[in-house]
Structure 1
Amino acid sequence: MIKTLLFGSNGFLGSHLQSKLDGEIIGVNIRHQNWQENIPGDANVFINCIGKAHDHKGTATEKDFYFANYELVKVIFEEFLKSNAQIFIHISSIAAVEENERKELLTEDSVGNPQSHYGKSKKAAEEYLLKQSLPSWKKLFILRPTMIHGEGDKGNLTLLYKIISKGIPYPLGAFDNSRTFVSVDNLVFLINKIFENRDSINSGIYNVADDEPVSTSNLIRIMAQVNQKNPLIVSVPKVVVTFLAKIGDTFKLPFNSKRLSKMTTTLLVSNQKIKTALKLKELPLSAEEGLIKTISSFKTQL
């Protein structure tokens, strides 16, 4: 049976991994003194999903991001090298490549263009890991998920749902965009498949995304459908929306330029490399099925 050490088990993704991954899952809290001494000698896998992403209050510093997303990665990976574990899975982010808008389909070979401390610190961690020498019997998998959603999500989808569920018209109809998401269930499925195929899959970077992109207008339709309402989409002029987002930047409001970008820009990501490596034709949940499951969970958690 696979025994996995999970770093970051209390976060959104970590909690899903803790309950859904195959085998025995042991959460490791690196805040505990001498945590390294409690690493079991028979652990097979290290998974690192510690990270700092959201900073809606705008109070986090560059040092905060690099500590969580880079410095801690080095500490955990060094323990992996000392251990008997065979697999290290690092949860990175597509933000290490692109955070805003990219018209062409992103692959693992796309040139990175991170802009924020978050994206740059994620990229730095990837570069560090790829430079390390691995014994022939150990493997490293860097997973780059797109925007992850699922039960317990408190990100941009939740904010958007709050607007739609109250019957407030969606004001961003003037923006025509499409983005690739990933449901947490599809992400867990892929990690379990890595476990199953650990002898045949090669180390490296793998994008993790749903099979299909979703336009924002379709996302609004799904939210309205879950609430059994007709979608109300209003095309407020882009210049007005952009101005309101800048006001949000100034006064630290939930609606700001960063969130506007996430909700209105196009970012398409290919998951073909990991599906080919795992001999998969498609993921268990379509993009729409995953979103319906997530949005349905909002009805009970909000």
Structure 2
Amino acid sequence: MILITGATGFVGSRLVERLVEDNKVIRACIRQKNKIIFPGAVTTQIDELTTNTDWAAALSDVKTVIHSAARVHVMNDLSADPLVEFRKVNVEGTLNLARQAATAGVRRFIFISSIKVNGEGTESGKPYTADDIPAPSDPYGISKQEAEQGLLRLAAETGMEVVIIRPVLVYGPGVKANFLSMMKWLSKGIPLPLGAIHNKRSLVALDNLVDLVVTCLNHPGAVNQVFLVSDGEDLSTSDLLRRMGKALDKPARLLPIPTSWLNLAAILVGKRNVAQRLCGSLQVDITKTRKLLGWKPPLTVDQGLKRAAEGLSK
């Protein structure tokens, strides 16, 4: 049996669907306030991911855990000490689950981490690799790195196999936040001042990420490894918007405003981080993932964007 935490989330819900399609025996972990039923899967309720959570019932007969639940990165976090709050869930809660999983005889623990463990951006043509020295700079990234370190120590101590996957920005049907906003702006024909951005960013379609997780369920080469995942094609923000417009069957109305002007405007309105994501580069090298696992992204960028666009219309 496979236990999936965060089963109602953007990634977790698609994982459940895919594994049910593959005729796997699934236990989907949901929070008590949710009443979602996954056809073909057993559900179990765990209200909190903390150091005190009792996972005994959820882990019964489980041989593989896919841990996608987390306190996610949020803009303008108002917590008095965000790092403390991220650690409670992403580090202490994760390691509590992993320790109980090892005790319960779980064979493999797959952890959905984040590219933020590597850092916030790259120089063009110098992508992150899975074996780079981590350099997280925000509380979310730090908490994910600390969880990774704890899991690998636990693997060495107990023999439970650990697999760590660091996705870049994930998009697909049901995507939220800035990606959804850009699709809505394009679908409405709103002109955007983003036509002269020459950065390079790696993205990953939801189904590509899910396919890699499925590959890691039993692959012997995945044991105690860290993998980066992307679509294998890097785009500038301008190119992404043009191809997103094509997926939406809408023309992308992009104004060629210099990036220096965009950065200055963002600073003036207190949105420096937004400008960094729109104008800066973040590339990943998935050579290790390809070679060690024999994996390649099943969807192209354009196929992934088409699925995301179809999800917008539903």
The alpha-carbon deviation at position 217 of structure 1 amounts to 1.8
State the shift of 1:243 in Å: 4.0
| Runs of at least 5 residues in structure 1 that lack an aligned partner in the other structure | 250-255
Counterpart of 1:225 (choices 238, 246, 249) is 246
Aligned residue among 141, 166, 182 for 1:119? 141
Q: Among all aligned residue pairs of Structure 1 and Structure 2, give the percentage whose two residues are the same amino acid.
A: 28
CA distance in 1, matches of 2:106, 2:170: 27
Is 2:238 aligned against 1:212? Answer: no
Whether the 8 Å contact between 2:53 and 2:96 is mirrored in structure 1 is: no
Residue of 156, 162, 186 corresponding to 1:164: 186
Deviation at 1:130, TM superposition (A): 2.0
| CA distances 1:180-232 after superposition (whole Å, capped 9, x unpaired) | 111110111112122242x4543211111112112212211122213333221
Cα-Cα RMSD: 2.2
With structure 1 as the length reference, what TM-score do the two structures score?
0.87
Mean Cα displacement is larger for which, 29-38 or 233-242?
A: 29-38
By how many angstroms is 1:57 displaced? 4.2
Whether the 8 Å CA contact 1:165–1:223 is kept in 2: the answer is: no
Spell out, residue by residue over 1:102-142, the C-alpha distance to the aligned partner (whole angstroms, 9 max, x if none).
33121112222211111111111112222224467631101
Check the 8 A contact 1:13/1:49 in 2, yes or no: yes
The letter of the residue matching 1:129 is L
The residue type paired with residue 292 of structure 1 is K
Q: How many Å separate the matches in 1 of 2:166 and 2:91?
A: 15
How far, CA to CA, are the matches of 1:220 and 1:200 in structure 2?
Answer: 36
Q: Which one is further off, 31-40 or 186-195?
A: 31-40
Report the equivalent of 2:40. none
**Structure 2: how far apart are the matches of 1:51 and 1:13?**
11
User: Please, which runs of 5 or more residues in structure 2 have no aligned partner?
Assistant: 30-44
Check the 8 A contact 1:146/1:182 in 2, yes or no.
yes
- The separation in 1 between residues aligned to 2:262 and 2:73, in whole angstroms, is 22
C-alpha spacing 1:238/1:194, structure 2 compared with 1 (3 Å): closer
Change (3 A) 1:227 1:204: closer
Deviations 1:237-282 (A, max 9, x none): 4344234434553xxxxxx3223222221111111212212223x3
Match of 1:264 among 274, 279, 284: 279
The letter of the residue matching 1:158 is L
Q: 1:248 to 1:80 in 2, by over 3 A?
A: farther
Please say if 1:30 is aligned against 2:46. Answer: yes
Letter in 2 for 1:86: R
Is 76-85 or 287-296 further displaced after alignment? 287-296
For 1:39-64, what per-residue CA distance to the aligned partner results, in whole angstroms no more than 9, with x for missing partners? 34321101111122332343242222
Alignment of 1:11-22 (within 5 A): 11-21=9-19, 22=22
TM-score, length-normalised on structure 2? Answer: 0.84
